[in-house]
Structure 1
Amino acid sequence: MTHLTKTHRFAKIILCAGIIWLGAFQVSGQPTVISYASAAATVNPDAPAPEPLRRFAADTIKQLSANAPFTGWSAAKQIIEPLGPGTHSWLVTLSSGTSTSSAPLGYLIISATPDGDYKLVEYGLGENSLYAKPTLESGLAGLGLAKKTKSLPTVTPVYAGPVLAEWMVRAAGKSGPVHFIDALTGEQLPESLQSWNKQAASYVPPSSAAGSDQKSLAVAATTRHADLFDPYDNILWMAGEPIQTGADRFEELLANYKRLVFVTNGQERTYSIPLPIIGYQKWSAESQSSGEDAIYVLTGSDTAQRWIALDALKQSGKFVAYTD
């Protein structure tokens, strides 16, 4: 069992880890603030996705479906919906089957840049992937807001990077209290509307991720160096020194260490997350004019695998070695 399924353990330890790391590690510099729409703006979930976004999503799915474990994506149905107000991100959900009986196959998360391009921030697969409906239902039940309640809550999926994927829940319409639920575990988070708005305002799409402005990127098969593991099986990594993981060195470093732990930090964060890192997938440019190579690190659990843009994680924390 991996750390993503140990929800009670996650809730107790993650706050302690956050205190340790936020006190011991200072963030160098402040993130660039992009003047997107206000985080309090509304989102219309029924508005059609922009055509350039749809084309980029289709091209990305075609590229990924050429290799396992994404081969089942070639004939998948796609639903594109906005992720929260203000961050200009979208969730692309892939499923199979009929309209009355469909099985989830995976997802993409795409963010828009200030220049109007689109960046693939992360993608994944598994029955317990990000924003899975059963996880949301479990989280709502934990808040006492199950379906049987008289007043249904207002739920908005929000995203400000791979370590800030949450549901914003208003218990009783616009005037009700606001709660935040982790979009992967269903845990209630120590987040407020104020803390969320501060972090969302600083979200910057990863510059070195695969983008709509790069027309010739070849996707290689995923390279794995270890099996998925639970970072809490051995917490010595909490005292580890950060490892410099530039895109030009990441492949070599992971081949050497086999297993890494990514640890979130930041002055505005209200909780911390450790992610086990055991592999990567590389998107290679065919020529210099095609742009930079893009590295996506592999993390997650047996039921929720995630490939996250290396550049997106580097904005939000550090990597340390994991040892037995």
Structure 2
Amino acid sequence: MLNISAQTGKIIKILLCLGVLSTGSAQLQTAYTFAATEDAPALAATGKEGPAAPKELRNFAARAIEQLSQAEPFTGWAHADTVIEPLGPGTHSWLVTVRPRASAPADNPAAGYLIISATPSAGEYKLVEYGLGPHSVFAAPALESGLAGLGLPSRGASGHTVTPVYGGPVLAEWMITLAGKPGTVHFLDAVTGELLPETTGSWNRQAARYVPPTEAAGSGQSALKAGETVRLAEPFDPYGNILWMAGDAFDLSQSNFEQLLKANRRLVFAATGADRTYNIPLPIYGYQKWNDETGSGISAIYALTGTKNSGRWIALGALEDSGDFVVYPETP
């Protein structure tokens, strides 16, 4: 399937693009110096839902958590509290942080998150992604690492503002604004904490095109129930064999995703777009399907990515709209 000789230029181009994070970000980080900063507000610090969260959103989040808690690896969510916070200005998305109650067993791995977006016209909430583990999206350790890389302590005197912003699963970032320095804005990756070659302009152009996926579990689909997670391979590092970069993209859809993933076991998702300033490939090695118990045939598929300790389930429709899937080759 991989035509390496014919795709050499393509490999070089993608390597240059993906290399931005591994080399370019480190160079950028050392170029900046900053004054003292304010205490960066940690997400999910209060243990209570934010007052700004609409009632329907809270109800939908509770139903989704209850659904997921009925099967592994989310059973710990049956003993969890939630915090709901808005993500970014103008994106109409919310971060639902899930964490164990004080009375939960000490070994209960309940910490996790959901991201829910409002549809622009239908007035419905969509479950765009969810996950588990200490290194999930918008987790505090990554933020603290990213701020340290910028020379900005997460706790201290005033000087910067941290805003979590979200324009879909491949555009989850922290926006760092420095007080007293108009126009000085930095963006950190919401998973790794790495400094991104993003600008306010590039962020705004990409975020303006974000539309919540139609084929995702929604607040108007009370009969949609979460099934078991299907794992077809162990988590893997896409950089372990970069020959996937020369592979042909699949035309994936809700109808053929299961068949193609089962046939190949491991796929790589790579975001595309004229305005993208960086790219991080996502390993795809499983999925979870939500089915309508009324027999209507309606379903929603969430692709499983992430690491062994921090899984991430992303609505397939959200990935289809923002990039390509290719086969991860079995041979080194």
Q: Is the partner of 2:111 in helix, strand or coil?
A: strand
Structure 2 partner of 1:157: 164
CA offsets 1:92-139 (integer angstroms, 9 cap, x no match):
00111449x998611000000022100000000001111111110110
Which of 43, 64, 67 is 1:60 aligned to? 64
Structure 2 partner of 1:316: 322
Report if the CA contact (8 A) 1:14-1:271 is conserved: no
Which of 290, 303, 319 is 1:297 aligned to? 303
Letter in 1 for 2:323: G
The answer to whether structure 1 residue 255 and structure 2 residue 242 are counterparts is: no
CA distance in 2, matches of 1:147, 1:319: 37
Which TM-score applies when normalising by structure 1? 0.83
The answer to whether structure 1 residue 129 and structure 2 residue 133 are counterparts is: no
Matched residues, percent identical? 59
CA distance in 2, matches of 1:140, 1:104: 26
Structure 1 pair 190–104 and aligned structure 2 pair: CA distance change class (3 A): farther
Letter in 2 for 1:317: G
Q: Is the partner of 2:313 in helix, strand or coil?
A: strand
Q: CA deviation at 1:217?
A: 1.0
Which of 180, 196, 203 is 2:203 aligned to? 196
Bigger radius of gyration among the two: 2
Structure 1 partner of 2:35: none
CA distance in 2, matches of 1:106, 1:295: 19
Q: CA deviation at 1:75?
A: 1.8
Q: How many residues align?
A: 286
CA distance in 2, matches of 1:173, 1:161: 30
Letter in 2 for 1:299: T
Structure 2 partner of 1:35: none
Q: Is the partner of 2:179 in helix, strand or coil?
A: strand
Structure 1 pair 72–104 and aligned structure 2 pair: CA distance change class (3 A): closer
Q: Is the partner of 1:295 in helix, strand or coil?
A: strand
Structure 2 partner of 1:267: 274
Q: CA deviation at 1:172?
A: 2.0
Q: Is the partner of 1:90 in helix, strand or coil?
A: strand
Structure 1 partner of 2:37: none
Which of 51, 54, 66 is 1:50 aligned to? 54
The answer to whether structure 1 residue 16 and structure 2 residue 16 are counterparts is: yes
The answer to whether structure 1 residue 113 and structure 2 residue 119 are counterparts is: yes
CA distance in 2, matches of 1:257, 1:103: 30
Letter in 1 for 2:291: S
Which TM-score applies when normalising by structure 2? 0.81
CA offsets 1:284-320 (integer angstroms, 9 cap, x no match):
122365x721000000012321000000000100000
CA offsets 1:184-212 (integer angstroms, 9 cap, x no match):
00000000001101111110000000001
Report if the CA contact (8 A) 1:154-1:173 is conserved: no
CA distance in 1, matches of 2:300, 2:307: 23
Structure 1 partner of 2:28: none
Structure 1 pair 143–55 and aligned structure 2 pair: CA distance change class (3 A): same
The answer to whether structure 1 residue 96 and structure 2 residue 97 are counterparts is: no
Structure 2 gap segments, 5+ residues each: 1-12, 21-48
